[in-house]
Amino acid sequence: GAGVSQSPSNKVTEKGKDVELRCDPISGHTALYWYRQRLGQGLEFLIYFQGNSAPDKSGLPSDRFSAERTGESVSTLTIQRTQQEDSAVYLCASSLAALGRDTQYFGPGTRLTVL
Amino acid sequence: QKEVEQNSGPLSVPEGAIASLNCTYSDRGSQSFFWYRQYSGKSPELIMFIYSNGDKEDGRFTAQLNKASQYVSLLIRDSQPSDSATYLCAASGGSYIPTFGRGTSLIVHP
């Protein structure tokens, strides 16, 4: 694909349920980032993957959040036992590498609503 | 803790005027700076990046960096209503994880 894709675009779930969000990065991009953006707020870093290196999970807000990435392809962000405060747009971004100078390309996001 | 500060606005300018958006950052190790534009309900898209002190121009956009003052700005000349959006400033350094500001809302009125 030409850009970063994410699915689903919208997800409504009940409190306590688990959700899985998917990100397909741009082909050839070794770095992948997940962010959370609450309404009217900035981007909150969650986790980043660089190639086959161990991911940087320093931004994950609790142990209910986890993410995986297979090689340099698809990533999934899983939120267990969702809470209302998890409601936000979850954005995925990829870049050619993680050298600090590489532009991040964002996907359209997944809007999560926890009832 | 690394921080990037932006005035949340809204900054309101008339069509055709120059819009000036400002950003300060706390981490002196920051090396790369980015400006993203985010329309309401959409994802951020890159407008400009700058690595060196001074000005960098691209069409109607000019990014300015002053590392001594830890200050980055974005100037938009001949502002158009289509420029109305939230502008996010980001800084990254050795950790390769950029820190984003909360964004400045720009309104360009006809």
- The answer on pLDDT for A98 being more than 60 is no
Q: Tell me what percent of the residues of chain A surpass a pLDDT of 90.
A: 73
Partners of residue A91 in chain B, C-beta under 8 Å: 43-44
* E strand or H helix that includes residue B5: strand B4-5
CA distance B97 to chain A (A): 7
- pLDDT confidence band for A100 (50 / 70 / 90): low
Partners of residue A50 in chain B, C-beta under 8 Å: 96
| Three-class DSSP category at A85 | helix
Tokens 């969000």 locate to A21
Partners of residue B46 in chain A, C-beta under 8 Å: 103-105
Beta strand A10-13 pairing with A110-114: parallel
A13, A33, A66, A72, B78 from A111: Cα distances, Å: 11, 17, 18, 24, 34
Spatial distance between the Cα atoms of A53 and A49, rounded to a whole number of angstroms:
7
Mean pLDDT value across chain B: 93
Inspect the interface and report whether the beta carbons of B43 and A100 lie closer than 8 Å. no
Q: Which of A9-18, B27-36, B37-46 has the highest mean pLDDT?
A: A9-18
Q: What pLDDT score does A101 carry?
A: 67
Decide if B44 touches A, using CB distance below 8 A.
yes
Average pLDDT over residues A48-73: 90
Q: What pLDDT score does A42 carry?
A: 85
- How many CB atoms are closer than 10 A to CB A31? 22
Which pLDDT tens digit goes with each residue over A71-92? 778 999 999 999 999 999 999 9
Decide if B32 touches A, using CB distance below 8 A.
yes
> Would residue B72 be called left, alpha or beta, if left means φ above 0 and alpha means ψ between -120 and 50 degrees?
beta
Spatial distance between the Cα atoms of B104 and B13, rounded to a whole number of angstroms:
13
N-terminal to C-terminal alpha carbon distance within chain A = 33
> Are the beta carbons of A37 and A43 closer than 8 angstroms?
yes
Decide if A50 touches B, using CB distance below 8 A.
yes
Which pLDDT tens digit goes with each residue over B48-81? 999 999 999 999 999 999 999 999 999 999 999 9
